[in-house]
């Protein structure tokens, strides 16, 4: 039960303080080649260009943790952070991808772990606001309430004039997690999703932002001297947001959809992480005391990809897709293409009939039938088709 709990808890990423794991999508010499593509440069600018961004978890497992598409002139900040005082969720991460020439931004926030109980003796020792095995003690909240009372105060406290313009429960997000079923007798699992849209002032601009989350909880009985009590581990998880200057958010929905759809967690990294969690739980390690100890633990774990790991992995990807669907549900935001170079499907913004890819994981989209990025370029661009 504990293992399942922490698997579900991990995967929305945190800590925008980390940039050391950032991996460019091509070596420096290839980047120079991209910038000096000659006569085709002006034609490139008439289309939309994406690149594949790969993040390497250098602080912990030292392999690719995730990858995603992003517009080629956007920037990335953030990464995975290993939290040494929380063995139940030893790694979390968060990042933002934004347009340095505009206001558009896609952000993923840290999972917020909490604990609650009706055991008054436990609460007397661990009052509201304290930490219980690395989890903040706080009563269980619904998704919209959690967004308003937890996410906004913690991550949007530095803006002015913030107001909520819309709020909505989204049970389909929770269904995508696969929550609501018993993992074992006596353990009650539940989940619910929601979103809010807010407006606020930042750096002289009026911003619009739509924020999503899924709140998950696991309740289980505990025998005490006063009888049976209930402990609850719960998480404000899958926290995504789409942001732009007021009036531009919905216009950029195709772009945001493509980014969200493309986010792909590495199964190998996820399996390794699960092995670390299992190691900590089995040995009842309550705190990792140094990065050196963490490295030793990681080296002693297996690379096996278990069935449970893959099931959790696919649940993660399903929620990402649901969030992208919900954000642009009133338009056909993306089209699916088959990339024969990487032998996989890719979601890209809809409305472009001329789409090209190269071996560096880059894509160019154009509305012009005569557009050809190979002209004047030293890269090999290949036209790809809709599925």
Q: What is the pTM of this model?
A: 0.77
How far, CA to CA in Å, does 33 sit from each of 25, 39, 73, 78, 257? 13, 13, 15, 27, 29
Q: How many angstroms separate the CA atoms of 77 and 95, rounded?
A: 6
Instruction: Write out the two tokens for 144.
Output: 């919209």
Of 12-21, 35-44, 124-133, 364-373, which has the strongest mean pLDDT?
Answer: 124-133
Is the pLDDT confidence value at 361 over 90?
Answer: yes
Q: How many angstroms separate the CA atoms of 54 and 66, rounded?
A: 6
Q: Which of 164-173, 311-320, 357-366 has the lowest mean pLDDT?
A: 311-320
Q: Is 54 exposed, middle or buried (0-12, 13-18, 19+ CB in 10 A)?
A: middle
How far, CA to CA in Å, does 71 sit from each of 164, 178, 220, 254? 29, 32, 45, 12
- Please answer whether residues 384 and 369 qualify as being in contact, where contact means their C-beta atoms are separated by less than 8 angstroms: no
For 175-192, how does the pLDDT look when each residue is reduced to its tens digit (9 = 90+)? 877 655 545 677 888 999
What count of residues does the chain have?
387
Q: Name the residue with higher pLDDT: 138 or 7.
A: 138
pLDDT at res. 281: 75
Which residues, listed in sequence order, are joined to residue 131 by a DSSP beta bridge? 136
Q: How many angstroms separate the CA atoms of 287 and 272, rounded?
A: 19
As a whole number, mean pLDDT of residues 28-35 equals: 38
Helices (H) and strands (E) in the chain, counts: 11, 19
Determine how many CB atoms are found less than 10 A away from the CB of residue 138.
20
For 238-260, how does the pLDDT look when each residue is reduced to its tens digit (9 = 90+)? 999 999 999 999 889 888 988 98
pLDDT at res. 323: 78
pLDDT at res. 184: 66
For 206-228, how does the pLDDT look when each residue is reduced to its tens digit (9 = 90+)? 999 999 999 999 999 988 888 89
pLDDT at res. 153: 97
CA angle 245, 250, 255 (to 5 degrees): 95
Is the pLDDT confidence value at 264 over 80?
Answer: yes
**Chain center to CA of 148:** 20
For 54-110, how does the pLDDT look when each residue is reduced to its tens digit (9 = 90+)? 999 998 999 999 999 999 999 999 999 888 777 778 888 899 999 999 999 999 999
pLDDT at res. 40: 34
Is the pLDDT confidence value at 28 over 70?
Answer: no
Q: Is 334 exposed, middle or buried (0-12, 13-18, 19+ CB in 10 A)?
A: buried
């Amino acid at each position: 039960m504990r293992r399942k709990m922490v698997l579900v808890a991990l995967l929305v990423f945190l800590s925008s303080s980390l940039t050391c794991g950032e991996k460019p999508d091509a070596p420096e010499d290839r980047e120079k080649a991209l910038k000096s593509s000659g006569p085709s440069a002006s034609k490139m600018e008439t289309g939309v260009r994406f690149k594949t961004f790969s993040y390497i978890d250098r602080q912990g497992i030292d392999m690719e943790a995730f990858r995603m598409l992003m517009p080629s002139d956007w920037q990335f900040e953030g990464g995975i952070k290993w939290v040494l005082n929380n063995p139940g969720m030893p790694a979390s991460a968060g990042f933002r991808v934004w347009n340095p020439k505009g206001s558009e931004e896609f952000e993923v926030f840290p999972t917020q772990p909490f604990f609650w109980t009706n055991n008054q003796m436990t609460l007397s020792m661990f009052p509201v606001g304290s930490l219980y095995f690395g989890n903040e003690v706080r009563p269980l909240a619904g998704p919209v309430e959690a967004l308003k009372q937890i996410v906004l105060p913690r991550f949007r406290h530095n803006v002015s004039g913030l107001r909520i313009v819309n709020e909505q429960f989204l049970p389909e997000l929770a269904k995508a997690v696969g929550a609501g079923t018993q993992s074992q007798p006596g353990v009650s699992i539940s989940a619910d999703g929601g979103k809010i849209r807010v407006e606020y002032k930042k750096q002289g601009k009026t911003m619009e932002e739509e924020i999503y989350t899924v709140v998950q909880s696991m309740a289980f009985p505990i025998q005490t001297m006063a009888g049976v009590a209930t402990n609850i581990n719960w998480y404000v998880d899958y926290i995504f947001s789409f942001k732009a200057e007021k009036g531009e958010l919905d216009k950029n929905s195709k772009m945001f959809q493509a980014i969200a759809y493309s986010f792909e967690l590495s199964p190998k990294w996820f399996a390794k992480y699960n092995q670390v969690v299992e190691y900590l739980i089995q040995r009842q390690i309550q705190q990792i005391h140094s990065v050196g100890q963490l490295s030793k633990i990681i080296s002693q774990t297996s690379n096996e990809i278990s069935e449970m790991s893959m099931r959790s992995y696919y649940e993660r990807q399903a929620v990402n897709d649901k969030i992208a669907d919900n954000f642009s549900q009133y338009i056909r935001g993306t089209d699916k293409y088959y990339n024969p170079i990487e032998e996989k499907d890719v979601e890209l913004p809809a409305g472009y009939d001329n789409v090209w890819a190269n071996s560096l994981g880059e894509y160019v989209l154009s509305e012009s039938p005569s557009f050809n990025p190979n002209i004047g370029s030293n890269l090999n661009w290949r036209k790809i088709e809709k599925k």
